[in-house]
Amino acid sequence: MLTLSDDGKPAPAPVFQARIPVRWGDLDADGHVNNTVFLRYVEEARLQWAQALSLSTSAPGLTPVVANLACEYLASLHYPATVTVSIACAHAGNSSLQLLFCLHVQAEGDAPALLHARARITWVWLDAGTGRPHAMPEALRAACKAAAPSPPSSAD
């Protein structure tokens, strides 16, 4: 089971998956995908998810920004390949989301997919005029809540 959280708990269920082909130009002088390109894959998946939710990345009066980003590199990635980027919501606040990303490539045959990297971002919405936090689009919050596991019920 893949884990993304620092405490080793299982990752939340993915809310979206993007398939991104590795391009020859993504490679560095060492012949593998450059570490900065992993972050471009994360960005591309995040923007594809927003587009799938019919969200504009430039809503009038709002400025979405990445306030924090961390990436853990686990295995080299080479050309040719197609990276599957899974997005999960770790936390949805009023004006921010903490998103978790798994970047993996399907192995040959029946072998399980190989996890190449894990990333975590905090995505914050700001009022463009004041620079202060602003409520995020409701479609994002709803998408995260829909994927969240239900709390255990107690028998009365």
Q: Which domains does the chain have, with CATH numbers?
A: 14-147 (3.10.129.10)
DSSP structure string for 36-105: HHHHHHHHHHHHHHHHHTT--TT-TTEEEEEEEEEEEE-S---SS-EEEEEEEEEEE-SSEEEEEEEEEE
Which tens digit of pLDDT belongs to each residue from 36-47? 999 999 999 999
Question: What pLDDT is recorded for position 153?
Answer: 46
- Per-residue pLDDT, averaged over 100-126, amounts to 93
Please report, for residues 24, 27, 105, the alpha-carbon distance to residue 47 in angstroms, rounded to integers and kept in the order given. Answer: 22, 22, 20
Residue 91 φ then ψ, to 5°: -160, 135
| Confidence grade of residue 2 (pLDDT, cut at 50, 70, 90) | very low
Give the Cα separation of 3 and 72 in Å (integer).
12
Give the Cα separation of 138 and 154 in Å (integer).
29
